[in-house]
Amino acid sequence: MHTNDGVTIKNHTADPQVTKADLRRAAWASSLGSALEYYDFALYSLASALIFSPLFFPNSNPATGLILSFGTYFLGFAIRPLGGIIFGRLGDKIGRKFVLLATIVLMGGSSTLIGVLPTYNGSSGDWYSAGAGIWAPVLLIALRLLQGLGAGAEMAGASILMTEYAPRKERGFYASLPFMGVQIGTVVAALVYFLMFNANQNTAITETWLWRVPFLASVLILGVAIFIRMSLKESPTFQKLEAHEQIVDKPLTTLLKNSRPTLLRGIGLRLAENGTSSIYQALAVAYVTSQAVGVTGPIGALSLVFAASLGSIVVPIAGKLSDRFGRVKTYRSFALFQLVAAFPIWYVLSLGDTVLTIVVVSLALGIGTWGMFGSQSAFMSELFGARQRYLGVSVAREVSAVISGGIAPMIGAAIIAAVISADGGPEVTGAGLGAWIPIAAYTAVLSLITVISTFFIPETRGRSLDDLRDAVDDPTLAS
């Protein structure tokens, strides 16, 4: 036995038995939660770009309304670190299973309730036809905050649970499976929007009740996810922590005392992945459909369908590659792709060509962003020691989400508005050409930070998940 920060690490007994049925159930439980989170994420991204402005901020001009709409989008990210801390502490103190149930209810319930909100001025699709005035955006913001609280620990919990269940030599592949739920949720949300816009070509979707349907549909995924998670066993690693009385009373204190270097590295890893996810799912859609570029039709939904379809292939391949070549090399390769592709992709988006837009968004998301996604799950979990893993992964994920993903669409919307104003208005041909350069630069900077971060992290492939030390504190790991 040896000690670590005054805690005795006992020679543990045999691992709690994980059967193939347990592994399969854990994969489904994690994947459905991820599907719901990213269904909500893609749903809110598309709604922020396309419909929330006239429904909840109608007294603003289109450019300002878009900024306000993305402001509510940002608030959901801003609250996520708090959700990560609250539920991450619980995940390290009372178990992964309880938190995964709590977060899915909070997240799915909030998303469903958005579907019954009254709008600012009222419409034919409102149950409160007179309109709720200022209470409409207030209620939207409140539900977005609750949604963000739940999401702050959902993906961290799903990835940790699957990593702790998975066989050591295939950990990258199995841990990537919950991220397949990301593709499912994204495709479903995009298809729903695509079908709604095509079925409603003669009437603005904001003037009917149809915009509510995607949010109300969240309850279906929620019900299935709860049913499966109720029968889930606790993760083997947490069972051993309980058995050996190694659970700490103050996970946050332990994390800040022992894991600050690991947190900074984890945040650096996530900047490119989370930032470009928001940039290409929310901002790119708003950009190409704005007055600056002027692409019409359900381009955002179509782009996400193709991107997520490609991502569903790339994610498990990335997990496999991380098992074969290591977490660091695999992750760095996808981040480099995103860095090199940033300026060419945004230049193509500025041209306003529908087919090329779908192609480049699919490449950026399907290969760059979701390639990092697929190799990230096991990587992030292996970075942290067993006692503070849930909290550590949650905080690293969500702080990076605020810095990169949450604020990006709001900044981008301001850039688009400034370019249109400077160029004399939407009637000026080529008004969108000036906006793409700073947005591409922001994308490239986030990717560069992630690439640099990978040079300061040891290779974690196959390390013991029962180790109480963080990977950066383990001298046996190669840099």
Average pLDDT over residues 187-204: 69
- Number of domains within the chain: 1
Show the tokens assigned to 283: 């901002």
- CA pair distance 134, 120, nearest whole angstrom: 7
123-173 pLDDT, tens digit each: 655 555 556 777 888 888 888 888 888 877 777 888 888 898 888 999 999
Is 240 domain-assigned?
Answer: no
- CA pair distance 225, 108, nearest whole angstrom: 10
pLDDT at 339: 97
Q: Please give the model's pTM, rounded to 2 decimal places.
A: 0.78
Predicted confidence (pLDDT) at residue 291 exceeds the cutoff of 80: no
pLDDT at 79: 83
Q: What is the CATH number of the domain that holds 375?
A: 1.20.1250.20
Is 200 domain-assigned?
Answer: yes
Is 209 domain-assigned?
Answer: yes
Three-class DSSP labels, the chain: CEEECCEEECCCCCCCCCCHHHHHHHHHHHHHHHHHHHHHHHHHHHHHHHCHHHHHCCCCCHHHHHHHHHHHHHHHHHCHHHHHHHHHHHHHHCCHHHHHHHHHHHHHHHHHHHCCCCCCCCCCCCCCCCCCCCHHHHHHHHHHHHHHHHHHHHHHHHHHHHHHHCCHHHHHHHHHHHHHHHHHHHHHHHHHHHHHHHHCCCCCHHHCCHHHHHHHCHHHHHHHHHHHHHCCCCCHHHHHHHHCCCCCCCHHHHHHHHCHHHHHHHHHHHHHHHHHHHHHHHHHHHHHHCCCCCCCCCHHHHHHHHHHHHHHHHHHHHHHHHHHHCHHHHHHHHHHHHHHHHHHHHHHHHCCCHHHHHHHHHHHHHHHHHHHHHHHHHHHHHHCCHHHHHHHHHHHHHHHHHHHHHCHHHHHHHHHHHHHHHCCCCCCCCHHHHCHHHHHHHHHHHHHHHHHHHHHCCCCCCCCCCCCCCHHHCCCCCC
Q: What are phi and psi of 233, to 5 degrees?
A: -80, 155
Task: State the residue range of the domain holding 443.
Answer: 18-230+246-473
pLDDT at 9: 37
- CA pair distance 286, 294, nearest whole angstrom: 10
Instruction: Grade residue 449 by pLDDT with cuts at 50, 70 and 90.
Output: very high
Is 93 domain-assigned?
Answer: yes
293-318 pLDDT, tens digit each: 767 666 777 888 888 889 989 999 99
Show the tokens assigned to 427: 């009637």
pLDDT at 365: 92
pLDDT at 197: 67
- CA pair distance 198, 205, nearest whole angstrom: 10
Is 330 domain-assigned?
Answer: yes
Which of 338-347, 386-395, 448-457 has the least mean pLDDT?
A: 386-395
Is 238 domain-assigned?
Answer: no
Is 339 domain-assigned?
Answer: yes
Show the tokens assigned to 280: 């290409």
Is 12 domain-assigned?
Answer: no
